[in-house]
Amino acid sequence: MAKLDVKNISGKSVGSIELDDAVFGAEIHEHLLWEVVKWQLAKRRAGTASTKRLGEVRGSSKKVWKQKGTGQARQGSRQAPHFVGGSSVFGPKPRSYEYNMPRKAKKMALRSALSLRAGESKIIVVDSFATDGKTKSVAATLATLGTGPKALIVDAKDNTMLVRGAKNLAKSQWLAPEGVNVYDILRHETLVLTKAAVESITTALKTEAESE
């Protein structure tokens, strides 16, 4: 098990914690990380693009010109796709881009992402994240901890002052332990976890790892 210093919000070491290898020292599956990020982004797609079929384009239904004798190609409707303002043949219609991903694959990818950050020494554990609810205070604490410009803070949602203070951070973000996901871990440079968050994540993911 890897051992990390536990810091307070002033950046001083106040103890240590052991990170379970089953969660923070697992094998890193890069292709699985890619698959899960693709799945997450697919779920976020609005799927609202819409084009009109022939029967949906407004306009006169009168035949453009007579069938024969004009010297031109036969035309039946001004709403046909080859006319300006006409319909679309295979254009998009509203749809869902969501698809299913195996639960075990999602959990394995999450362990891979956490292990990747642990291997890069990009995890900071704090005893608690007390703040006055101001964005400026949260940003100052992150600067003191040396997280860099993009940090993912993980703590329980009952820490309402932190939730409030992190809302307007430019590049950093707060998440509850149950909301930790591969995409947000990978798009932030550093993970800031409270001791309680580490225990919660370990409990949830270690059970899955042992059952595989």
| Residue 211: predicted pLDDT | 57
User: What is the fold of 2-45+98-211?
Assistant: Ribosomal Protein L4; Chain: A; (3.40.1370)
Structure tokens at 102: 């195996």
| Residue 206: predicted pLDDT | 82
The DSSP element (H or E) to which 136 belongs, if any, is: helix 135-145
Sole residue written with tokens 């699985």: 32
Structure tokens at 143: 């600067």
| Residue 210: predicted pLDDT | 57
The domain segmentation of the chain, as residue ranges, is 2-45+98-211, 47-96
- Rounded Cα distance, 115 and 111, in Å: 6
Q: What are phi and psi of 128, to 5 degrees?
A: -160, 160
| Residue 143: predicted pLDDT | 95
What is the full per-residue pLDDT of the chain (212 aa) written as tens digits? 778 899 999 999 999 999 999 999 999 999 999 999 999 999 999 999 999 999 899 988 899 999 999 999 999 999 999 999 999 999 999 999 999 999 999 999 999 999 999 999 999 999 999 999 999 999 999 999 999 889 999 999 999 999 999 999 999 999 999 999 999 999 999 999 999 999 999 999 986 655 55
DSSP 175-187: E-GGG--HHHHHH
Question: 25 near 19, Cβ under 8 Å?
Answer: yes
